Amino acid sequence: MKSSLKLGLILMIICAVAGGGLAAVYAMTKPVIERREKEDLLNAAKAAIPGAELIQEVTDEKGNTFWIGKAGEEVVGAAMRVSASGFGQSPIQMMVGVDKEGKIASLTILSLSETPGIGSRVKDPAFLQRFIGKKDTSGVDGISGATVSSSAVKAGVNQALEILTPVVAPSEERPIDLASIPDGTYKGTGNGLFGPIEVSVTVSGGKVTKIEVISHSDTPDIASQAVKGVPKSMIESQKVDVDVVSGATFTSKGIIQAVKDALSKATK
């Protein structure tokens, strides 16, 4: 009995010493690891902004952190680390660079846990090159057999474009005055997650009376929420800039963009 207690006490002491040692090592190495990760991220951001002589880390009012690249006093682009859930257990981490024209300048996969040989193909240079030079991802074909992983990359790139484009390539968007739009039905297009979204908008007496989504390529079960919800919200509020439908963000934004396109044609 005594020998058992003695053995247990020895084991407890050994475990305590080992645990204390591991804690000490972790405390010592944590700052080094964090500093190295920050340096790697900074280098990835620099590489994502071609022509940048200096990059500056910025956090906007919504809490988004990104880097602005400058050559002298001129802003030449921006970069952002984004993540999107694919098929793997961990989100796909990527660095997206956008140039001063609002086009995708670079796309690098930082980490992923997608299925080897299937979803992992999204890190192939041939696939990533499809995004370069584009202002949106609607025309980018996914990888056959890796739809979920491809969609995750496109969603991440869209997120970066949405945040960075107003910073590096701001546009002056005129407010839409519904009262000035002649009665009639107008068609417009926007960009969904998987392709163009076409809508028709009917205006009567200075009010939007009907909005119909004519065609889209987004996932039906998900997109249907936005197809019903966004037009309804616009008609009820008589506003174009309405809230997106949760879970159908890109379809919602595509519909809003398409309605704006239709109404802008009506005023020309």
Q: Per residue in 175-189, pLDDT tens?
A: 778 888 889 999 999
Does 110 lie in the same domain as 59? yes
Same domain for 121 and 61:
yes
Q: Which residues 6+ apart lie within 8 Å of 199 measured at CB?
A: 187, 188, 189, 190, 211, 212, 213, 214, 231, 255, 258, 259, 262
Query: Domain check: are 117 and 216 in the same one?
Result: no
Per-residue model confidence as pLDDT tens digits over 105-127: 999 999 999 999 999 999 999 99
**Is there a domain that residue 42 lies in?**
no
Determine the Cα–Cα distance for residues 15 and 12; give it in Å rounded to an integer: 5
Check whether residue 163 and residue 67 sit in a common domain.
Answer: yes
Domain end residue (candidates: 149, 168, 187):
168
149 has a pLDDT exceeding 90: yes
Same domain, 76 and 157: yes
Residue 154 lies in a domain: yes
Domain span including residue 204: 178-266
Identify the top-confidence range among 1-5, 41-45, 126-130: 126-130
Does 68 lie in the same domain as 160? yes
Q: Tell me whether residue 231 is in a domain.
A: yes
Unique residue bearing structure tokens 């009506």: 266
Q: Is residue 132 domain-shared with residue 92, that is, in the same domain?
A: yes
CA-based end-to-end distance of the chain = 95
Q: Are residues 61 and 160 in the same domain?
A: yes
Of the three residues 129, 150, 168, the one that is the final residue of a domain is 168
- CATH label of the domain that carries residue 198: 3.90.1010.20
d(CA 102, CA 13): 61
Q: Which secondary structure element, helix H or strand E, spans residue 197, and what is its range?
A: strand 196-204
Same domain (yes/no): 123, 218: no
Distance CA 65, CA 157 (A): 15
151 & 243 share domain? no
Cβ atoms of 224 and 255 closer than 8 Å: no
Using the 3D structure, point to which of 168, 202, 218 is the last residue of a domain. 168
Per residue in 245-256, pLDDT (tens digit) is: 888 888 998 999
Number of domains in the chain: 2
Which strand ranges, in their side-by-side order, compose the sheet holding 207-215? 184-191, 196-204, 207-215
- How high is the pLDDT of residue 195? 82
Asked if residue 1 is part of any domain, the answer here is no
Mean pLDDT lowest among 30-34, 99-103, 144-148, 233-237: 30-34
- Whether 156 and 183 map to the same domain: the answer is no
